[in-house]
């Protein structure tokens, strides 16, 4: 939105003490902010290159650099009103913490920093370092890279060097003494070496399992315990003829071939295998002095681990991750079954079969005893119930029949309803004979 103002801005009264404008809301010009972070909050529309902003009550002033701007402290440079000439900063100013100085800059009052990094340094003193030196008498003369020299004196014959490495060819004309001397090559025949005692082996003896080494210079003997000696290299082509050379003894004899019948060997126990077992991949060998085991066998023994039979399919499982074997069985001939056998579904038997023992079928079961029947087609069933010709004495029906109050003068039954009886069933007591002329319908006759 554009705003057009004609004339000038002024207070309504010359005695009015309130300000008319605030530089913070204008563009360009001199203004003041509270701290350095406020510099970056000045919006772009209120910026103009070269504008000066005071910070912390005018303690330090900063000038806005030419764009582009990044709204960081890098947009500003320190502005010093004390004047500058030829890139020289003078007067009071805020110490710089970090940052990069570009262009030719002179620090007339010196500069102090933990680290200074630049491409080119002017008027720096030459880096002087030692390039070599000589030693003569009691003086060491060092030469530096500028051609100058300096001397170190006061070195006497009693001076002692601690540590260090001597490079190049070195001659010690007055002798050299050290606890340890290490070098690639020592020249000379050693005749000039003094203070060294030549200690060497003068002899050795072997007794039992001990090797005793004797040395010169009254040095103590060295004893080494040796339980096993490998003579495969030293005595590769040596043979011992015990018959002519005496005897030989050792804790352990190891060799490819022992010649002779062993009759001269004493103290040797012949241990041999007396038997063994093999279980779960482990071979156990029994000997007179104990047993030993041998493992690591890879089993190739294939055997059946389980089998099942379902819907005429016989399934056989085997070890060694072998595939399952199956066999379909639709008919069996010449089969003998021992023990109890449960058959689900229909059993079809052709030919003559001997069925011994107790035979039961869930299809023939019922609430009472039944009669087995065979149809003309050979189907076995048990639908006809076996009914006793006489009802049970003392039962419910018998008690109803024996009760005379349940009968009228004409011999008709008038008692409680009789159930569960069939035509033809009979009952009797000392006075009457009862017979069912129909299911659950009885008459009685006088006996005698």
Q: What local confidence, expressed as pLDDT, does residue 148 receive?
A: 87
Position 397 scores a pLDDT of 92
Mean pLDDT of the chain, nearest integer: 77
How far apart (Å, rounded) are the C-alpha atoms in residues 63 and 75? Answer: 9
Would you say the C-alpha torsion 436, 437, 439, 443 has a positive or negative sign?
negative
Q: How many residues does the chain have?
A: 448
Q: What angle do CA 125, 128, 130 make, to 5 degrees?
A: 180
Type and span of the H or E element at 401: helix 396-402
For the purposes of burial, counting CB atoms within 10 Å of the CB of 76, is it exposed (0-12), middle (13-18) or buried (19 or more)? buried
Residue 86 has pLDDT above 50, yes or no: no
Secondary structure E strands in 208-324: 210-215, 222-225, 273-279, 282-287, 290-294, 304-310, 313-318
pLDDT of 17 reads 64
- Quick one: CA dihedral 390, 393, 397, 403, positive or negative? positive
Average pLDDT over residues 227-248: 59
Query: pLDDT per residue over 127-166, tens digit each?
Result: 888 888 888 877 888 899 888 898 888 777 655 666 667 7
pLDDT(346) > 90? no
**Longest Cα separation, the chain:** 172
Residue 132 CB partners (closer than 8 Å, separation 6+): 142, 143
Interval 15-34: pLDDT, tens? 766 675 677 677 777 888 88
Q: What is the pTM of this model?
A: 0.25
Answer for the pair 240, 265: CB distance below 8 angstroms, yes or no. Answer: no
**Does residue 97 surpass a pLDDT of 50?**
yes
In angstroms, the CA 442 to CA 225 distance is 120
pLDDT for 158 equals 54
pLDDT in tens, 360-413: 776 677 667 778 888 888 778 877 778 888 998 889 999 998 999 999 988 889
Percent with pLDDT over 70 in the chain:
66
What does DSSP say about strands 210-215 and 201-207: parallel, antiparallel, or unpaired? antiparallel
Percent of the chain as helix, strand, coil, to the nearest 5 = 5, 25, 65
Name the region of 264 (left: φ>0; alpha: ψ -120 to 50; beta: rest).
alpha
Contacting residues for 414 by C-beta, under 8 A, at least 6 apart = 406, 407, 408
| Cα radius of gyration rounded to whole Å, the chain | 64
Task: State whether residue 400 is helix, strand or coil.
Answer: helix
Question: How are beta strands 84-85 and 76-79 bridged, if at all?
Answer: unpaired
Mean pLDDT of 267-287: 82
For the cut 80, the answer to whether the pLDDT of residue 352 exceeds it is no
Q: pLDDT, tens digit, for every residue of 208-218? A: 788 899 999 88
pLDDT at position 279 is 82
pLDDT tens-digit profile of 293-338?
Answer: 988 777 667 888 898 888 888 899 988 788 999 989 877 776 677 7
Q: What is the mean pLDDT of residues 41-53?
A: 89
For the cut 50, the answer to whether the pLDDT of residue 87 exceeds it is no
Is the CB of residue 55 less than 8 Å from the CB of residue 36? Answer: yes
The confidence band for 111, taking pLDDT boundaries of 50, 70 and 90, is: confident
* Cα dist from 26 to 38, 75, 442, whole Å: 15, 19, 133
């Amino acid at each position: 939105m554009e705003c057009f103002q004609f004339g000038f801005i002024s207070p309504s009264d010359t005695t009015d003490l309130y300000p008319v404008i605030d530089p913070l809301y204008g563009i360009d010009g001199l203004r003041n902010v509270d701290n350095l972070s406020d510099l970056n909050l000045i919006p772009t529309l209120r910026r103009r290159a070269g504008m000066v902003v005071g910070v912390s009550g005018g303690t330090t002033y900063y000038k806005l650099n030419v764009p582009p701007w990044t709204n960081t402290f890098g947009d500003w440079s320190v502005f010093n009103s004390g004047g500058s000439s030829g890139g020289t900063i003078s007067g009071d100013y805020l110490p710089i913490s970090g940052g990069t100085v570009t262009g030719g800059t002179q620090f007339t009052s010196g500069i102090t920093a933990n680290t200074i990094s630049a491409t080119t340094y002017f008027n720096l003193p030459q880096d002087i370092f030692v390039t070599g030196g000589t030693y003569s008498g009691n003086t060491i003369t060092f030469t530096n890279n500028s051609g100058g020299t300096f001397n170190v004196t006061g070195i006497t014959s009693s001076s002692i060097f601690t540590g260090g490495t001597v490079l190049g060819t070195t001659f010690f004309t007055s002798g050299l003494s050290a606890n340890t001397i290490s070098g690639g090559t020592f020249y000379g025949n050693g005749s000039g070496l003094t203070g060294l005692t030549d200690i060497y082996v003068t002899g050795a003896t072997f007794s039992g399992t001990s090797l005793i080494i004797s040395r010169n210079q009254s040095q103590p003997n060295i004893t080494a315990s040796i339980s096993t000696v490998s003579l495969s290299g030293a005595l590769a082509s040596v043979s011992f003829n015990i018959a002519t050379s005496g005897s030989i003894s050792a804790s352990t004899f190891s060799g490819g071939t022992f010649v002779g019948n062993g009759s001269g060997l004493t103290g040797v126990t012949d241990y041999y295998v007396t038997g063994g077992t093999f279980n779960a991949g482990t071979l156990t060998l029994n000997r007179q002095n104990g047993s030993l085991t041998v493992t690591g066998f890879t089993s190739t023994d294939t055997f059946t681990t389980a089998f099942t039979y379902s819907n005429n399919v016989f399934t056989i499982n085997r070890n060694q991750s072998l595939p399952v074997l199956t066999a379909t069985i639709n008919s069996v001939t010449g089969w003998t079954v021992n023990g109890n056998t449960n058959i689900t579904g229909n059993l079809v038997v052709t030919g003559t079969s001997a069925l011994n023992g107790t035979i039961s079928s869930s299809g023939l079961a019922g609430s009472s005893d039944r009669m087995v029947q065979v149809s003309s087609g050979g189907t076995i069933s048990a639908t006809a119930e076996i009914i006793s010709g006489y009802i049970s004495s003392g039962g419910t029906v018998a008690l109803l029949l024996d009760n005379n109050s349940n009968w009228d003068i004409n011999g008709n039954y008038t008692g409680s309803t009789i159930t569960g009886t069939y035509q033809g069933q009979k009952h009797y007591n000392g006075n009457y004979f009862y017979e069912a002329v129909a299911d659950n319908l009885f008459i009685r006759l006088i006996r005698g």
